[in-house]
Homo-oligomer: A and B are copies of this chain.
Amino acid sequence: MTTLPGMADEQLLRLDQQLCFSLNAASRAFGGVYRVLLRDLGLTYPQYLVMLVLWEDGELPVKRIGERLRLDSGTLSPLLKRLEAAGLVRRERSPQDERSVTVALTPEGSALRERAGQVPRRLLAATGLPIEDMAALRGLLERVTAAMDAATVEPAP
């Protein structure tokens, strides 16, 4: 099934526009609110995402952080350097496998968790959605993402 036979190209084009516009706009609106909330903490939104996984797991190799956040080393390496320069994490090569770099929280990085405590509550309030709707949104987003990842799109028609 690739043609959705009942729909005209024009309709599809409009729906596509609406969906990709909406997703883009939502992602950037989200980022904008986080930017303001995180300014006090001195974190950007992607840096906050990295800190969230570290607060959860304490210490992780770069590889694992990348798997959790779907980010590659090209994004993570400079980001982690900035977190290290800010004194929030340490990076050291694993003695077991010299290829791997383990990222661990410093005491300052752990302490930041307290100050970040209010962020989720304020953000969820800003969304203005009831909890059930948020769960539904998350469910749909995850289904879309899974389908996108599974779809090995062919470059040329």
Contacts and interface: CB of A to CB of B under 8 A. Distances in A.
B9 A145 contact: no
A154 B123 CA distance: 11
B30 A144 contact: yes
Nearest to A37: B153
B2 A20 contact: no
Given A49-B24, A125-B2, A147-B128, A16 B120 contact: yes
A121 interface: yes
A126 interface: yes
Contacts of A4: 121, 124-125, 131
Given A4-B131, A9-B121, A25-B141, 17 more contacts: A2-B122, A2-B125, A13-B120, A16-B120, A19-B124, A20-B34, A22-B141, A23-B26, A24-B69, A26-B27, A29-B144, A33-B153, A36-B154, A37-B153, A126-B151, A137-B140, A140-B140
